[in-house]
Each structure stands twice: as structure tokens, then as C-alpha cells.
Structure 1
Amino acid sequence: MDIFEAAREFVRREGRLVERRLFATVFEGADPIGVVDALRGYRNADGGFGHGLEPDKRVPDSQGLDVETAFNVLIAAGARDDELVRGACDWLASVATPEGAVSLGTAAIEGYPHADHWAAWAYQPGLNPTAGLVGRLHTLGVEHPWRDRAAQWCRAQLAEGFPEDAHAMHESMEFLEHEPDVDIDRVRDWLPKLSHYRADAADPSYGVTPLQFAPTPDSFWRQLFDDAQLQAHLDRLLADQQPDGGWALTWEPPGQAATLEYRGAVTVAALTKLKAWGRL
């Protein structure tokens, strides 16, 4: 069984409905409306998303990271549902600071099973996820008053300096690619200074890799990386497929179900990158 077939069987066997619908859309030509319908199961009456859409916490309440995950799924599927997205923006506006900043999660997470890395730091408004959410709304082509307010806050924050963590920098770069006159050299020079940045494909540790900054050959940030570095990470991605067909995690979700859910998500993401780069 080849790489794709093994991964397809893993997603069909272990993946959640939302990943199975996304796989069918990206790789089998299914209507993206099926992805939107699957996402609705994670939507709350307040317009936000919760219920473990991002599987590292099992809290049903709406969370910033779950909204971002919903946006990622819509983008990956090439799906549009402006009413769904604007409802999520209404929720973001309702929980944002006066300047528009939002947090990854809320303290409600503490009442439910969650991965160990969830702690008070994630409940503070920041560029992660505010900048990433604004950038994804640009990609989705959805305007909203919250987006404009939050964008002003992000510009002011980034004018003072870049974040020191690769996750927050990734979110910031999602925003910056939609801004005029981006200083590419400033971003390039900052990357090696980031914590949790995994530039070396041979490094087995957890981290944000060049393929996350440039998941496709036409990604805006492709210009930051040379061909050898990107091809090495693609080789590593291929090598990291597990005997069961899926990709493993480099962190510990809160339980067996959450682990399989996240593995399904990262497996679809891995296949999508490999397809985009012509490696399937």
C-alpha cells in the first residue's frame, strides 16, 4: 500500500467526520458543502466554535482557537459560508478587548480534560490568535467591524516588535501577508531568533517548521526558504508517516480519542502539503 492509500485508510478508519469530509473534498472532488455541514456540529448558539474542534481540550464553550480551526478547515476545503464566518466574528467581537484582541481560550477549559500545555498564558489576549484570525478573514474574503478593529491593534503591536515564539510569529505572518509594504528581510532575520522554530528537518523535537509558514509553493512566505530546506522538510514529512498510515503527534492530547482526532487532522494536513508540493 502506498503513502496516499495508507493515509486514506487511516483517515477513513480513525478520522472524525470533519476530517473525512475534508479529505473527500480535497482529494476526491466532493462538494465542500459537506465540510461546512460537519463544522456546524461544533458551532455554538453564540456563533463561536467549541466542542473540541481543536482536540487538545474537550470544553464545549466557544474558544478562539476553535474559531481559528474552523477558518482553517474552510480555507483548506475552498468552502464559503459568509453567514457562518460572520457569526463567528460577532462572537469574537463580544469577547475581545476594547482594542479588538482575543485569546486562544478561556478559563472554562480548566473544567474539562485538556492537554498539559493549556494554562493561564493561553487565556490572555495576544497576537496569537488575533493576528492569525484577521489574516484568515482576509483569505476568506469576509469583512467585519471586528476584523478592522483587531487589524489596527495588530499593526500597533507589530510596529513595536515581533513576538519571540514561533506560534505567535506564524499567526503574525498570516496577518502580515495581507499588509502592504511588508519588510521581508526583517521577517527573515527574525526567524532564527524564535523559540519553537524547527528550521532543521533532522530535528525530531516539537516545533513550527518552514512547511507551516509555506504550505504550498505559491505561499507568500515561500520566498523566505531555499529549495533545499523545503525539500528536506518534505522528505522528513514523508518519512514521518507511521505504519498505521497516519502521522504521529509530538505532544500529548488529553486522551486516546483526542489523540486519534488530532492524528486525523495532522494526517489530512500532511497529505495536503505533499500534494501541493507534488510529492504524492
Structure 2
Amino acid sequence: MDIFTAGRDFVRRDARVLERRLFAAVFEGAEPQGVVDALRGFQNADGGFGQGLEPDKRCPDSLPLDVEVAFDTMLAAGARDEEMIRRAADWLDRTATADGAVPLCGPAVEGYPRAEHITEWTYQPGINPTAGLVGRLHQLGVEHPWRDRAAAWCAAQVAHGFPEDAHGMLEVAAFLESTGDVDFDRVREWLPKLGHYRADAADPTYGVTPLQFAPTPDSFWRPLFTDAQLDAHLDRLIEDQQGDGGWAITWEPPGPAATLEYRGIVTVGALRTLKAYNRL
């Protein structure tokens, strides 16, 4: 069975409704509105997103991490529901510090099953996820007072230096793309210094790879990487497809259902990247 068919079958069999509708929108010509409809079940009355949209915590409360996943999903589908986005931005505005910074999660997660890495460090407002949320609102084309306030805070943070972790740098990359004021050499020189950055395609450990900075050939950050670097990671991505058609994850969500949910997310992501680079 070929890569695409095996991946499609995994998504149809084991992914949740949201990823099945995203797959249908990306690969089968389905209306992107179906993805928005699926996201509605994760949006709370306060305007934020929760209900375990990001599967590493089963908390129903609204969390910035879940808002970011909602924005990412709409962008992947080519969908845009302005009311849905504005309600989420209003919630971020109410949740943020005076400067506009937000945390990934909050103490509410402690009442529910969660992965081991979802601990107190995720309660601290920071560049991750604030910068990424600002960048995604720009990509979605939605102006909002919180976006402007948070952007000013992010710009001040970046002026003092880049994050030391690759996850934070991914968020900064989304923010910098929205500003149009980018020093590619500075970013390129910083990448090898990042924790959790997996430059070597042969490295089997958990980490952020060049394909996450440049998931398509026309990605803004594509010039950071050589053809050889990206080809090696694309080869590895193909090799990592599992016998059941899906892609594995290298961390432990809080349970079997959450594991399958996350595998659905990364499988659709892998197929999208392979399609973009003409590897399917």
C-alpha cells in the first residue's frame, strides 16, 4: 500500500472527527466550513478553546494552547470564521497580563488527566505561545487590540534575545514573519543553539525539525535550510510511517485515546508536508 493510502486509512479509522474533516478539506476537496463546524465543539462559552483540543491535557477549560491549535487548524484547512476568531481573541485579551502575554496552560489542568510535561512551567505567561498567537492572527487577517498589545510585548522580548528552546523559537518565527522585519542570518546562527532542535534527520529523539519551520517549499523560513537538509528530513518522515499507516509520537499523552488523537494530528501534518514537497 502506498504512503498516502495507508495514511488516509489510518485517519479514517483512528483519528477524531476534526482531523478527518481536515483531511477531507486538504486532500478530498471537501468544504473547509466542515473544519470550522468541528471546531465549534471545542469552543467554550467564554470564547476560548478547550475540551482537550490539544490532546496532552483533558481539561475542558479554555487555554491559550488550545486557541493556538484552533487557529492552526483553520489555517491548515484554508478556513476563516471571523466571529469564532474574534471571540477567541477577546478571551485572550481578558486572560493576558497587562502587557499582553499569555501562558500555554493554567492550574485548571491539575484537575484532569494530563501528560507529565504539562506542569507549572506552562502556567507562566511567555513568548511561547504569545508570539505564535500574534503571528497566527496576522495569518488569519484578523486585527484585534490584544494582537497589537501582545505584538509590542513580543517585539521587546525578541529585541533582548531569542528563546533557548526550539518550541519557543517556532513561536517567535511565526511572530517575526508577521512583522516583515527579519534577520535571516541571526536566526540561522541561533538554530544550532536551541534545545530540542533536531537538525540531524538520523536522530530518533523528540525534537523540532527543519520541516516544522518550513512545512512547505514556499514557507517563509525555507531559505534557512539547504535542499540536502530538507531532503534528509523528508526521507526520514517517510521512513517513520508506521505499519498501521499513521505516524508515531515520541512522548506519552495521558492515555490511549489521547495518543490516537495526537497520532491523527501528526499523521495529517505529515501527509500535508509530503504533499507540499511532492513526496506522495
TM bin, normalised by shorter chain, reads: over 0.9
Q: Give 1:103's aligned residue.
A: 103
Q: Give 1:234's aligned residue.
A: 234
**Residues 128-181 of structure 1: CA distance to partner in whole angstroms, max 9, x if unpaired?**
000000001111101100000000000000000001000001100100012133
Aligned pairs for 1:32-181 (under 5 A) are 32-181=32-181
Point out 4+ residue stretches in structure 1 off by more than 3 angstroms: none
- Separation (CA, whole Å) in 1 of partners of 2:106 and 2:122: 8
- Separation (CA, whole Å) in 2 of partners of 1:120 and 1:68: 19
- Separation (CA, whole Å) in 2 of partners of 1:235 and 1:212: 15
Q: Give 1:27's aligned residue.
A: 27
> Between the two proteins, what is the percent identity of the paired residues?
74
**Residues 188-241 of structure 1: CA distance to partner in whole angstroms, max 9, x if unpaired?**
100000000000000000000000000000001000000000000000000000
Report the TM-score when normalising by structure 1. Answer: 0.99
Q: Give 2:272's aligned residue.
A: 272
RMSD: 0.5
Question: Aligned residue pairs: how many?
Answer: 280
- Displacement, 1:66? 0.3
- Separation (CA, whole Å) in 1 of partners of 2:105 and 2:39: 19
- Separation (CA, whole Å) in 2 of partners of 1:179 and 1:75: 18
- Separation (CA, whole Å) in 2 of partners of 1:202 and 1:238: 13
Q: Give 2:248's aligned residue.
A: 248
- 1:102 is matched by which residue type in structure 2? V
- Separation (CA, whole Å) in 2 of partners of 1:80 and 1:64: 18
- Separation (CA, whole Å) in 1 of partners of 2:145 and 2:110: 31
Structure 2, unpaired ranges of 5+: none
Structure 1, unpaired ranges of 5+: none
